[in-house]
A and B are shown apart, each in its own frame.
Chain A
Amino acid sequence: MSHDIAVEARDARKVYGQGIGAVTALGGVSLQIRKGEFFTLLGPSGCGKTTLLKLIAGFESPTTGHILLDGSDITFDPPNERPVNTVFQSYALFPHLSVADNIGFGLKMQGRPKAEVAATVTRMLALVRLDKMADRKPGQLSGGQQQRVALARALAPSPKVLLLDEPLSALDLQLRKEMQIELKRLQVETGITFIFVTHDQEEALTMSDRIGVMQSGHLLQVGDPRTIYTRPANRFVASFIGESNFLTGTLDGTALTLDAGPRMSVEAGQGAPTQGRVTAAIRPEQIRITSATLGDGIPAKVTQTVYFGTDTHCRVVLKDGTEITVRLQSPASGDVGLHPGSEVTLKFEPGALIVLPEAA
């Protein structure tokens, strides 16, 4: 057993209900989260990420499988006996207690001496920059301040792992950006393992050390943000994190013949086939457009251009009918010079094309 693993899930399954009405929320997930890591569980709603979080927190028990904390089995330990704390989506601040009492609640319940509780509360208030708010009630705070109190409350008992259940979803965009930086700072300063649940791919990419992408109760891919983005393991990951275009073709070793044009060499994808019909993914910003219709590249016809400010999205159709989005940086004039009907050629680096494991 490795010593740097904070939390481990071993084939954790969670089924709600019985018989015909049974719903599998989590279908046998195995996962290791390292100590001091900012780990994000990313996926659409209903993918099982919150269920996995609840199993770690102890609010639910897995139907089968195990949860380990620092190598010891905590599968059936009640939540109040686990050194794991949660920042709730709704914050769940106790409305009848002051900010200070909220933050000190966990320590008080653990029976720590009053002086220690007071000292920790003061320290936590400073950490989340709410020194002047100690005597306020949660109802008198703004959304961002409540968020900080929730964080301080969960951090105060110095848990081994901090669980964050979509804590930023209730904040507006501006505040969310600030809190992302704040969260990252707190994680670095405290060195506590953070497990962060979100459906926001941008949030996941910017904050995490590693990301686990989930769908329909299964863990699809675990990796650092760069790997997840540049080497998605399958079609779902490719389209859920960032945008992707999908091209079909016939593969023979490293030589791929696209249905819509030329033959090119590609890198073998992880777990991808080496022969036969395949699907390959390419990011919209990896494609260049030249107005020349000659030379190597994929011939295409522009159908629509949409101006997004910094970018201009250009929809093109290939000769086999495949529709593709190309993201171009808008020039100073704002006009990319492409119009519906323009004949163009698409070009990209061979490494930009990723062969996916699913058959075409």
Chain B
Amino acid sequence: MVDRTFAIARLPGFATIAVTVFVLLYLPIAMLVVFSFNAGDSVAIWEGFSFRWYPEAWSNEAVKAATWRSLQIATAASIIATTVATMAALGTTRRRQTKGQSFVYLMINQPLMVPEIVTAVALLIFFSTIKVATGYQGLGYLIIAHAAFCTPFAYLPIRARLESMDLSLETASADLYASRWQTFRYITLPLVMPGAIAGLMLAFVTSLDDVVITLFVKSAGQDTLPTYMLAQIRRSVSAEVNAISTLLLLLTVVLLTAFFLLTRKRT
């Protein structure tokens, strides 16, 4: 297994630990997926192959509603997050460093630095007051909260994309008679696009996966897929949750692979 070319960088035992880590990292997930196809109830004893848990999960109205709600929130939140993050990235990169810039940077990355439970509690306090004051109980709160903590995830790839972009391209465009708007339309925007799409996907995945903030912000009957699953896990273990998990996993892997290919293919 060990590549002789890198013998100089080989450290005793490291390869063994690394391979073990990879195996242990995937084993639980693999088991989860495998047992979503179990014919029986058990998540440990194999009773034969069956698809029964997938239709079973889907026939559950609560699952359907939670899925639909999760997708709605993730779509709205990731679009909002990507839009504001793209604008902020354009406003903060590739120019002389100022104090204001690091303030913006700090604000945008703030959700990454504060423990999720703290943000969740703070939002509960804030939104419960507003809910009482306005009487509005809709998905708006969840969308705002999700958009806020998804913004740093959208911002990072866009910023990286902008920073790797040659500054002289915009200068060249101005030199070739393009107005500010034309430069943005024909040069900056097309070049930023892969970063923005990557950011959109990361934001979508992040929103789709959130448990804690959703749990505290949601009004009664606003379960998303993860909060529904959390409630199920507490109650009883059934392979239905495995089936839902497997589908969510699949979606994440597809989005991540797309993200990966998108950011790798740099011209």
Interface residues in chain A, defined as those with a beta carbon under 8 Å from any beta carbon in chain B: 57-59, 78-81, 84-86, 88-90, 92, 94-96, 105-106, 109-110, 137, 139, 153-154, 157
Query: Contacts of B176 on A, CB cut-off 8 Å?
Result: 80, 85, 105-106, 109, 153-154, 157
Name B169's closest neighbour in chain A (CB-CB): A92
In Å, the complex CA distance between A220 and B265 comes to 49
**Across the A-B interface, the 6 shortest Cβ-Cβ residue pairs:** A106-B176, A92-B168, A92-B172, A109-B177, A109-B178, A95-B267
Partner of B173, one of A58, A105, A137: A105
In Å, the complex CA distance between A86 and B176 comes to 8
Cβ A90 vs Cβ B174 within 8 A: no
In Å, the complex CA distance between A235 and B11 comes to 59
Residue of B171, B172, B178, B190 with most chain A CB atoms under a 10 A cut-off: B172
Partner of A86, one of B166, B172, B179: B172
Can you pick out 24 interface pairs between chain A and chain B where the beta carbons lie within 8 Å of each other? A58-B174, A59-B171, A59-B174, A78-B174, A79-B174, A80-B176, A80-B178, A84-B175, A89-B168, A90-B168, A92-B168, A92-B172, A95-B169, A95-B191, A96-B190, A105-B173, A105-B178, A106-B176, A109-B173, A109-B177, A109-B178, A153-B172, A154-B175, A157-B176
Cβ A88 vs Cβ B172 within 8 A: yes
Interface residues in chain B, defined as those with a beta carbon under 8 Å from any beta carbon in chain A: 166, 168-169, 171-179, 182, 186-187, 190-191, 267
Partner of B175, one of A85, A96, A110: A85
In Å, the complex CA distance between A298 and B267 comes to 63
Cβ B267 vs Cβ A88 within 8 A: no
In Å, the complex CA distance between A79 and B178 comes to 9
Query: Contacts of A89 on B, CB cut-off 8 Å?
Result: 168
Query: Contacts of A95 on B, CB cut-off 8 Å?
Result: 169, 191, 267
Q: Smallest Cβ distance from B138 to chain A, in angstroms? A: 41
Cβ B267 vs Cβ A139 within 8 A: yes
In Å, the complex CA distance between A81 and B179 comes to 9
Cβ A96 vs Cβ B191 within 8 A: yes
Cβ B177 vs Cβ A92 within 8 A: no
Query: Contacts of A139 on B, CB cut-off 8 Å?
Result: 267
In Å, the complex CA distance between A58 and B175 comes to 8
In Å, the complex CA distance between A88 and B173 comes to 11
Cβ B175 vs Cβ A79 within 8 A: yes
Cβ A86 vs Cβ B175 within 8 A: yes
Cβ A57 vs Cβ B175 within 8 A: yes
Other than A86-B172, A94-B173, A106-B176, give 14 A-B pairs with Cβ distance below 8 A: A59-B171, A78-B174, A79-B171, A80-B176, A80-B177, A80-B178, A80-B179, A84-B175, A92-B168, A96-B267, A105-B176, A109-B176, A154-B175, A157-B177
Q: Smallest Cβ distance from A55 to chain B, in angstroms? A: 13
In Å, the complex CA distance between A85 and B176 comes to 7
Partner of B171, one of A92, A96, A110, A137: A92
Q: Smallest Cβ distance from A140 to chain B, in angstroms? A: 9
In Å, the complex CA distance between A293 and B191 comes to 72
Cβ B190 vs Cβ A80 within 8 A: no
Q: Smallest Cβ distance from B101 to chain A, in angstroms? A: 18
Name B179's closest neighbour in chain A (CB-CB): A80
Name A86's closest neighbour in chain B (CB-CB): B175
In Å, the complex CA distance between A92 and B173 comes to 9
In Å, the complex CA distance between A46 and B134 comes to 63
Q: Smallest Cβ distance from A105 to chain B, in angstroms? A: 5
Cβ A90 vs Cβ B166 within 8 A: yes
In Å, the complex CA distance between A177 and B166 comes to 27
Q: Smallest Cβ distance from A60 to chain B, in angstroms? A: 11
In Å, the complex CA distance between A84 and B172 comes to 11
Partner of B169, one of A85, A94, A154: A94
Q: Smallest Cβ distance from A204 to chain B, in angstroms? A: 23
In Å, the complex CA distance between A110 and B182 comes to 11
Residue of B173, B174, B178, B190 with most chain A CB atoms under a 10 A cut-off: B174
Cβ B177 vs Cβ A88 within 8 A: no
Given A95-B267, A96-B191, the answer on whether A88 and B178 have CB atoms closer than 8 Å is no
Given A95-B267, A96-B267, A109-B182, the answer on whether A80 and B166 have CB atoms closer than 8 Å is no
In Å, the complex CA distance between A5 and B178 comes to 27
Residue of B166, B175, B267 with most chain A CB atoms under a 10 A cut-off: B175
Cβ B182 vs Cβ A88 within 8 A: no
Q: Smallest Cβ distance from B165 to chain A, in angstroms? A: 9
In Å, the complex CA distance between A142 and B191 comes to 21
Cβ A80 vs Cβ B267 within 8 A: no
Query: Contacts of A94 on B, CB cut-off 8 Å?
Result: 169, 172-173, 187, 191
Name B178's closest neighbour in chain A (CB-CB): A109
Q: Smallest Cβ distance from A109 to chain B, in angstroms? A: 4
Name A84's closest neighbour in chain B (CB-CB): B175
Query: Contacts of B179 on A, CB cut-off 8 Å?
Result: 80, 109
Name B187's closest neighbour in chain A (CB-CB): A94
Query: Contacts of B177 on A, CB cut-off 8 Å?
Result: 80-81, 106, 109-110, 157
Query: Contacts of B267 on A, CB cut-off 8 Å?
Result: 95-96, 137, 139
In Å, the complex CA distance between A153 and B178 comes to 13
Q: Smallest Cβ distance from B28 to chain A, in angstroms? A: 42
Query: Contacts of B186 on A, CB cut-off 8 Å?
Result: 105, 109
Cβ B169 vs Cβ A80 within 8 A: no
Cβ A80 vs Cβ B175 within 8 A: yes
Query: Contacts of A57 on B, CB cut-off 8 Å?
Result: 175
Name A83's closest neighbour in chain B (CB-CB): B177
